């Protein structure tokens, strides 16, 4: 058994604003990432390579809030966060506050594989990227007209509120490979008009991303502050490992139970060592897809 | 029942290097923080105020690696991280990469109480401190002669290695107040000669700090990368909440079991809702103290 699941954020357009053209574009973007990640698994590649591939494609797609097309801070710049974890070794890498790294997930992976650290932030993280030979991109590389307009609306006097799409955007992937190893990866541009070097759950190991062969692999998307406070990704794995819950029970207890009670909007994708995939969300929708060796292939928004 | 425990880092001087004078100075510093925090609890103050008070005193004490007396980065500057969590509400605040905030734990608490965010980093976090009326201090405020010498030894050609004291230094506190509420706080200068904006476990909610009235309150100290990868603080609480473990069993399983197997040196302090206090460590020593309403008062190093 092998399987992959991806998400493109829990902040979907309200159904009323979703046109057939937009629907088709989002589904095409999800399908490209899902099938590329699945092809890695199908070719006996590792779950780490599969989630890296899928997330990189979503980062490059301007429709999703990560990499190119990331939302803009109050100062009008893109600041990117990402993390990745290897369920076999519990190795992990995380980066936050990037402004010039084209694919944050690749830098998170480099931190995991080529540094003695887990988390690097800001200018220091970018210095490490340069030393790893990653060519910097100007911050404008990430900007799109849609995000500029969203920022204008979100700023004081801009006529906000920002729609959900930009408020809860993230991308992520989880996978189980043919060797039985789990991996998870998450990447984001954070919240539109964010200030103060705010970091959400995406680069926090345990909150936005967690993978442990003994439990499961999780990537989260939603209102990051709530996800940090409840250590969402690790909590789901802990309920599987310690409480004897199935993956579906654990994920539902956290997403539909605890998070919803606190007012924490969003969702997660998760896969366990037997290839069970769950994708619960308590928001109106979540861009998502799953594909596994038993022939299942699903792409959905609401 | 009410209780407080504190730590001043798992990186103690090797026994061979500990003189009677040094031993006395460390114990005096620990006692000052422990008794001040206990006095808050004894006066019906909150566990949040108790841990803030104890950590602030340890930050101000140049002997410990947090606030004044923090270790220096490869560039010769102090970069500080801290976090705090309220077990009653699961509210949390965290800051990383500070250079001009006298008491990082107070900024972490301000983030928790006066922002909509949980984690702020770098210049943005310092901007928030200014807006909160916290007067900035020059980075030199944090520097001590001891840390300058340690940095010289740690840099290439300096004749290192750095002793354990600077490698695993952190301060922290956990408390249970008379209303039955738990809280945890942690603060650090990180690793001597660190580079690249490295962030350890101290400002990571779930790793270095966690508090949940339903489980326990934990503050960790040690080789931060291992503590992040195993989400140490939350994992201990999860074992109590889901696996039916006692606090002592859960803490031992993580610190003496899982962390030691991975090579993750360090320890934790924890208290549960019944006032049980544990302080396990797998390093040579851990500066620590505990005091509770049943008359227990303990200060220890090895």
CB atoms within 10 A of CB B223: 22
Task: Give the residue on B whose Cα is nearest the Cα of A93.
Answer: B229
Q: What pLDDT was estimated at residue A196?
A: 78
| pLDDT tens string B259-276 | 999 999 999 999 999 999
Q: What pLDDT was estimated at residue A167?
A: 57
Please state the separation of Cα A179 from the chain's center in Å. 24
Which residues in chain A touch residue B154, judged by CB atoms under 8 angstroms apart? none
Q: Residues A203, A94: contact at Cβ < 8 Å?
A: yes
- Answer whether residue B298 shows pLDDT above 50: yes
Give pLDDT < 70 ranges for chain A: 12, 159-167
- Of the residues B73, B170, B188, B192, only one is catalytic, namely B170
Interface test with A, best of B80, B242, B264 (most A CBs within 10 A): B242
Q: Residues A172, A221: contact at Cβ < 8 Å?
A: yes
Nearest-neighbour CA in chain B from A228: distance (Å): 7
Nearest-neighbour CA in chain B from A278: distance (Å): 21
| pLDDT tens string A165-216 | 455 789 999 999 999 999 999 999 988 888 879 999 999 999 999 999 999 9
DSSP A23-91: HHHHHHHHHHHHHHHHHHHHTT--HHHHHHHHHHHHHHSTTSSSSTT----TTS---EEEEEEETTTTE
Q: What pLDDT was estimated at residue B169?
A: 84
- Between chains, do B205 and A229 touch, taking CB under 8 Å as contact? yes
Which residues in chain B touch residue A121, judged by CB atoms under 8 angstroms apart? 96-97, 121-122, 197, 199
CA–CA gap between residue A66 and residue A80 (Å, rounded): 7
ipTM: 0.95
- pTM here? 0.96
At CB < 8 Å, which residues of chain B contact A? 85, 90-92, 96-97, 115-125, 127-128, 195-200, 204-207, 210, 224-225, 228-231, 234-235, 238-239, 242-243, 262
Which residues in chain A touch residue B204, judged by CB atoms under 8 angstroms apart? 119, 204-206
CA–CA gap between residue B287 and residue B302 (Å, rounded): 8
Tokens of A165: 């799409």
DSSP A122-172: HHHHHHHHHHTTPPP--GGGG--HHHHHHHHHHSTTS--PPPHHHHS--EE
Which residues in chain B touch residue A98, judged by CB atoms under 8 angstroms apart? none
Q: Which of B86, B53, B80, B100 has the alpha carbon at shortest distance from B200?
A: B80
Nearest-neighbour CA in chain A from B204: distance (Å): 7
Question: Which of B122, B200, B242 is closest, CB to CB, to A197?
Answer: B122
Please state the separation of Cα B10 from the chain's center in Å. 10
- Between chains, do A119 and B204 touch, taking CB under 8 Å as contact? yes
User: Can you give A218-277 as a three-state secondary structure string?
Assistant: EEEEECHHHHHHCCHHHHHHHHHHHCCCCHHHHHHHHHHHHHHHHCCCEEEEEEECCCCE
CA–CA gap between residue A136 and residue A99 (Å, rounded): 9
- Between chains, do B197 and A123 touch, taking CB under 8 Å as contact? yes
pLDDT over 70, % of chain B: 97
| pLDDT tens string B150-199 | 888 888 887 765 554 455 789 999 999 999 999 999 999 988 888 879 99
The top-level CATH class assigned to A3-300 is alpha beta
Q: Residues A80, A142: contact at Cβ < 8 Å?
A: yes
């Amino acid at each position: 058994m092998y399987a992959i699941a991806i998400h493109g954020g829990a902040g979907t357009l309200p159904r009323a604003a979703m046109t057939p053209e937009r629907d088709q574009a989002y589904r095409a973007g999800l399908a490209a990432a899902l099938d590329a990640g699945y092809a890695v698994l199908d070719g006996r590649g590792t779950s780490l390579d599969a989630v890296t591939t899928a997330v990189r494609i979503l980062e490059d797609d301007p429709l999703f809030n990560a990499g190119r097309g990331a939302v803009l801070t109050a100062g009008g710049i893109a600041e990117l966060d990402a993390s990745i974890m290897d369920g076999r070794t519990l190795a992990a890498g995380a980066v936050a506050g990037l402004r010039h790294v084209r694919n944050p997930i690749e830098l998170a992976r480099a931190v995991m594989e080529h540094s003695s650290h887990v988390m690097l932030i800001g200018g220091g993280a970018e210095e490490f990227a340069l030393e790893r030979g990653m060519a910097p991109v100007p911050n404008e590389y990430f900007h799109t007209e849609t995000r500029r307009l969203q920022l204008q609306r979100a700023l004081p006097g801009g006529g906000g509120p920002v729609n959900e799409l930009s408020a809860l955007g993230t991308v992520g992937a989880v996978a189980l490979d043919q060797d039985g190893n789990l991996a998870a990866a998450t990447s984001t541009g954070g919240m539109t008009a964010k200030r103060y070097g705010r970091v959400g759950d995406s680069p926090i190991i345990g909150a936005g991303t967690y993978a442990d062969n003994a439990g499961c692999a999780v990537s989260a998307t939603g209102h990051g502050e709530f996800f940090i406070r409840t250590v969402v990704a690790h909590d789901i794995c802990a309920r599987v490992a310690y409480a004897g819950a199935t993956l579906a029970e654990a994920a539902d207890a956290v997403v539909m139970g605890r998070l919803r009670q606190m007012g924490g909007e969003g969702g997660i994708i998760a896969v366990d060592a037997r290839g069970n995939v769950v994708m619960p969300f308590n928001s109106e929708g979540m861009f998502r897809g799953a594909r596994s060796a038993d022939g299942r292939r699903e792409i959905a928004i609401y």
